[in-house]
Amino acid sequence: MIRTIGHSTYDVEYFIELLRKNSIDTIVDVRSVPYSKYASQYNREVLKRYLKYANIRYIYMGDILGARYEDPKLLFDSGKVDFKKVQKSKLFLEGIARLQDGIAKGHSISLMCSEREAFDCHRFVLISGFLAKIGTAVEHIYPDKVVSQAQMERQLLIKYHKKLHKRDLFCHSITQALQLQLAYELRNKDIAYNPTSKNDSIQTV
């Protein structure tokens, strides 16, 4: 089991309370840029100190599990980052292996990014989607609830329902797995970083 959380603009004390409530002992920061314009308490060095006082381990992995890439080999023709290509890269797979090793050693890990809503963040589409595919259970922490990856995948299918190929009399090969794969790709294109403009398509906290 692994969890994820977005720091948003929460007071850091409240953020730590959420972590404790969910028995998290290790934060893995997957922000490509571990600094915040809107919440300086989440700047890398500052957050690391707060977490240390709370006896929560901080590990930075935004350099290998982040969402921002400029290598043309990892981009769609449109210029946006292609998560499917990233998931096949050596660095990404090494990052996943480190997460699995941490889980195996008994750590209670939460990935952390900035967006409050996981649905709008690469931690859901790029990382959690891959983890779920290889059999690792994932949950997303919110102030008032915990949402499973499976629940969010249902939300994904609803979001892109009109754009998904449907199984009918003339096409029997369209499975829900194929629909989900396409829905992930559509979400990827909606939120992905574009190195040309230096912008993420969705920027929320």
Work out the average pLDDT over 51-62. Answer: 98
Report pLDDT digits (tens) over 85-132: 999 999 999 999 999 999 999 999 999 999 999 999 999 999 999 999
Instruction: Give the chain's mean pLDDT.
Output: 93
**pLDDT higher than 90, residue 154:** yes
Report pLDDT digits (tens) over 129-149: 999 999 999 999 999 999 999
Work out the average pLDDT over 71-97. Answer: 97
Report pLDDT digits (tens) over 163-179: 986 655 455 566 878 89
pLDDT at 197: 80
Residue type, 201: S
Work out the average pLDDT over 19-29. Answer: 98
Provide DSSP, 24-81. --EEEE--SS---SS-GGGSHHHHHHHHHHTT-EEEE-HHHH-S----GGGB-TTSSB
Q: CATH number of the domain at 2-200, out of 3.40.190, 3.90.190, 3.30.70, 3.40.50?
A: 3.90.190
pLDDT at 169: 44
Work out the average pLDDT over 57-73. Answer: 97
pLDDT at 196: 85
Both tokens of residue 79? Answer: 């210029």
Residues in the chain: 205
